[in-house]
Chains A and B, each alone.
Chain A
């Protein structure tokens, strides 16, 4: 434990910065971006102890903070990190900084509010990763929605309102079910232990009959599946991405999509292990459909952002497949895919943003022959494309390989079908790249495009570095996440065993009412 509450600082600093930014005098639009960048930079630097100081092998959560929040119902302000949430939090602070820096020249109106919302979003995301209390989790989970809704709805493209509402309602539909499940669980827990609590560890300790877990699991899984997004609940994503401003797309792809998989890993899987065992094959197949479907549909997209959005559906399918494999390789692969997808897909959206700013179009057909005009942009685009394809030596490969290996160990057919995604990703990405960058220049306007500015190069330099670092020497990342992942596997398996064995003599079972009834006695 440190004397300074690091996690609270990380959550509230961007929030304070956001408020201050919003209070800047009108006309200070230009300085807003400077202050926002500074705040994001400070936040990123402040989050670095999560890399240096989190001890991978240590039991339980670190940097824990626990304060009573609503004592009457046992809700606590309880934060903590382990290897998994630590890395995801680092991804968040890093990509937020990149997104803020990348937005400099693209935001023209209301830039104070824009950056304020981005920072508020960061606070929400970090809170979601750090919190260890279910009620707090729900609060942060919902809090993230609002800034993103506004970012899309105000700074978005032509159909921004449709996209924003769709995004909001889709996610709300899922999280409302989750709220019902959380409240119901709370009652079950209170009856079982006699002490009201929303604490995650309390739920980890509570035994539950397998039959009963199913409904809770489904409620949580539905909320998370929408966020991932898993096929067929993915249709909000292409619209949201296409309409969102660049920085919004970057954060959406880099961090928000990870919330779903993280939710499975932290909540749904260890809390309801027996239900998981029942559902895992289904979820795995749905993920595989997502892998193939996302790739196939990405193939024919005329719009760059839509193409990248569908590729995300495919990549996140890999993520979920790795989790369903329920072994060390699958889990580690899933985490690596989350991290590398965050970096690479974030970078892809930034790259699309770069050419959108210059040409005000994202249609693939409007480009062609860009290598001749903007070689630096094209070279970076190539590297990021290859990392998205999962070329060995780049970050994408490590995750994909480990996921497929994990899946292969659990069920050969999963890996065999999912591995076609490796071929398909090459198809759609290279075809897109060919049409945008190769060939003769077909549109005269493209001749006047300017290559990357110094600021833009600074944005991409760390991304390229990360792409190769994570690809060539991923062990530091793997070392940090593995103890936490192993614990999750252990916890899930031991809880599953425990419930399955003691099903008959569980005292809790008799007082545990069916979910429908529990909902009925809601306060």
Chain B
């Protein structure tokens, strides 16, 4: 029973709609959390069953119904559970459950409590459809479905114009990506005759020329850049922070934004046929990782820092895919889901405690007041910074290792620099929020309180996962680590995964020492300039005034898009309507009308109604005829 996993949250949506306010707050909370927890239970059971099968049989499919069958094209509503979707489905339902529980506390005072969980459950349904689909078209349903929920949840506080605006921006930017997804899917259909994963991958090597597969994969990758906020379509994600914080944690950190990485890993057979695309993916990933990390250095809104951090970490995942290490990418998806969800939920706990203050310049010294939040956030900060033996260390290290081993030295260098920046901005966030002197306003100080258990318990569980989550990927194991072996049946399809680049033990150790080294440097630098010697931060900012301005304004990318795309577009629209439609086309139409009207006005003059006039015309006519025939 795979279909029941997405069906459960959908059922909760329908019940929520049907019962309406009769549910009450408690009922709503139980229904929403219960459905997702139950989905997690069913997912766990299905995955355990999957694990019990011999390795090459680990692929369960389930046909629900035929969606559309037209001519030689058909698409089903059918689900697929294999090791890859198993990882995704566990992360989505697991982290999703925790965030649902957290949200019951976080949103408890919101008047639109029921609507919130309606959207959140709908999101779970769409996300699970996305990862469990057995073909590109059903995946696209989930793909656009999560986009819709993202739109609704970013704009959840719709009365704030900025929230409504951010939601719309997210949807439209995603649609630009979806345009690529759709054209990519058409190419798959015309070349392989199907959208079913298995059939497409089986047919692809013979069906495509290198040029065609490069174009098709680039189009799919365009879809991925939209959903996963990569250059050039990343601008929506920071704005998405207008949504409630649990939404940021669930959708814009742990699950939806990783859909692009999932798409690439799922389609790895296709991407491996297109080396040029792989190169592009790696470069875009590295560039995004670096660019977002630098922006993260100069932001003051706690959620914005985390948003840019997410963009940057997603860049790492694409970097991994681009160098052929799809497994490492998915590994980072998982560990990132743990620590980034934790960071967002922790930030939410801070914001909750601070009466909705998000500016870190008005925080500081919160550690003793929010002990649990502080402790768990500290763990997450270390985990994302890449401190050894925490989750983020293993996955990030694997990515850097893969980049080096596959010969992408430039990509590796970008990754190393990015790792240093990550450690720096995360430590900065941690210090500005929890350490140093308090800059909290008087009223906020008054209400300052640790969050209720419904919020802190998920924090603790996620903290534990952020510590131990990486051990499934311990390096230095014969035949790859547990996580790699688990994904092997999926990622070895197409025969390319065997190209595992071996490097010597010594090199591997050097790489690890270097990545740990830069992380420590980043942490220490940040501690020095924000905690031990705060004057240094000010001095630095003064010294690099120009650079700081550029970073604070996010390289003016939004302004650039606005000037280059949005404004001209609206201008052209206005012109087409007011000039072309109203003047040219209607001018012609009305012109024809007026010509007839004018013409008949002249003809009307001949119909005077006087017999004398008519007699005159008859006489003139007769004379004319005479002249004509006598000539």
Contact = CB atoms under 8 A, between A and B. Distances in A.
Contacts, number: 129
Given A405-B73, A438-B159, A439-B161, A296 B183 contact: no
Contacts of B572: 296
Nearest to B75: A401
Contacts of A266: none
Residue among B164, B168, B189, B190 having the largest count of chain A Cβ atoms under 10 Å = B164
B66 A475 contact: yes
A235 B577 contact: no
A332 interface: yes
B68 A402 contact: yes
Contacts of A415: 183, 186
Contacts of B576: 293, 296-297
Contacts of A329: 70-71, 73
Contacts of B585: 232, 234-235
Interface stretch (B174-182, B451-459, B509-517, B535-543): B174-182
Given A419-B179, A419-B183, A431-B168, A371 B158 contact: yes
Contacts of A300: 570, 573-574, 577
Nearest to B578: A300
A416 interface: yes
Contact of B164 (A169, A328, A439, A474): A439
A74 interface: no
B145 A474 contact: no
Given A170-B589, A297-B576, A478 B171 contact: no
A372 interface: yes
Interface in A390-447: 391-393, 398, 401-402, 404-405, 408-409, 415-416, 419-420, 422-423, 426-427, 430-431, 434, 437-440
B26 to A, nearest CB: 22
A434 B175 contact: no
A482 interface: yes
Contacts of B558: none
B218 interface: no
B158 A439 contact: yes
A38 to B, nearest CB: 30
Contacts of B577: 297, 300-301
A297 B572 CA distance: 9
Contacts of A327: 71
B67 A434 contact: no
Given A296-B573, A409-B190, A332 B70 contact: yes
Interface in B545-583: 569-570, 572-574, 576-577, 581
Nearest to B590: A166
Interface string B169-204: 001100110110011001001100000000000000
Contacts of B570: 299-300
Nearest to B182: A419
Contact of A416 (B65, B175, B183): B183
B141 interface: yes
A369 B73 contact: no
B172 A427 contact: yes
Interface in B312-336: none
A278 interface: no
A483 B320 CA distance: 49
A434 B577 CA distance: 22
Contact of A438 (B155, B190, B569): B155
Contacts of B145: 391-393
A211 interface: no
Given A299-B570, A300-B570, A438-B159, A426 B172 contact: yes
Contacts of B143: 392
Interface in A224-278: 232, 234-236, 238
Given A166-B589, A300-B574, A438-B155, A420 B168 contact: no
B113 interface: no
Interface residues of A, number: 54
B182 to A, nearest CB: 6
Contacts of B56: none
Contacts of B505: none
B140 interface: yes
Contacts of B165: 434
A168 B461 CA distance: 70
A473 interface: yes
B148 interface: yes
B586 A235 contact: yes
A423 B182 contact: no
A328 B70 contact: yes
B69 A391 contact: no
B148 A434 contact: no
A356 to B, nearest CB: 22
Given A301-B577, A408-B186, A372 B159 contact: yes
A297 B584 CA distance: 14
Interface in B65-88: 65-73, 77
Interface in A289-315: 293, 296-297, 299-301
A297 B581 contact: yes
Contact of A473 (B65, B172, B178, B573): B65
B598 interface: no
Interface in A304-339: 327-329, 332-333
B144 interface: yes
A301 B576 CA distance: 11
Given A235-B585, A300-B574, A404 B171 contact: no
A440 B161 contact: yes
Looking at A236, A409, A415, which has the most chain B CB atoms within 10 Å of its CB? A409
B593 interface: yes
Nearest to A368: B161
A434 B141 CA distance: 23
A336 to B, nearest CB: 9
A478 B69 contact: yes
A167 B163 CA distance: 42
B373 to A, nearest CB: 32
A164 to B, nearest CB: 13
A386 interface: yes
Interface string A349-389: 00000000000000000000101100000000000001000
Contacts of B159: 369, 372, 438-440
B414 to A, nearest CB: 31
A208 to B, nearest CB: 28
Contacts of A427: 172
Interface string B128-172: 000000000100110111001001000100110101110110011
Contacts of A169: 593
A345 B183 CA distance: 26
A409 B189 CA distance: 9
Contacts of B140: 392
Nearest to A427: B172
30 contacts: A166-B589, A170-B589, A235-B589, A238-B581, A296-B569, A297-B573, A299-B569, A299-B570, A327-B71, A328-B70, A328-B73, A329-B71, A369-B159, A371-B158, A392-B141, A392-B145, A405-B73, A408-B186, A419-B179, A419-B182, A419-B183, A430-B151, A430-B171, A434-B167, A438-B155, A439-B158, A439-B159, A439-B164, A472-B67, A478-B68
Interface of B: 65-73, 77, 137, 140-141, 143-145, 148, 151, 155, 158-159, 161, 163-165, 167-168, 171-172, 175-176, 178-179, 182-183, 186, 189-190, 569-570, 572-574, 576-577, 581, 585-586, 589, 593
Interface of A: 166, 169-170, 232, 234-236, 238, 293, 296-297, 299-301, 327-329, 332-333, 369, 371-372, 386, 391-393, 398, 401-402, 404-405, 408-409, 415-416, 419-420, 422-423, 426-427, 430-431, 434, 437-440, 472-475, 478, 482
The 3 closest A-B pairs by CB, nearest first: A328-B71, A438-B164, A438-B158
Given A328-B71, A415-B186, A422-B178, 14 more contacts: A235-B586, A238-B581, A296-B569, A297-B573, A300-B577, A328-B72, A391-B148, A422-B179, A438-B155, A438-B163, A439-B158, A439-B161, A472-B67, A475-B69
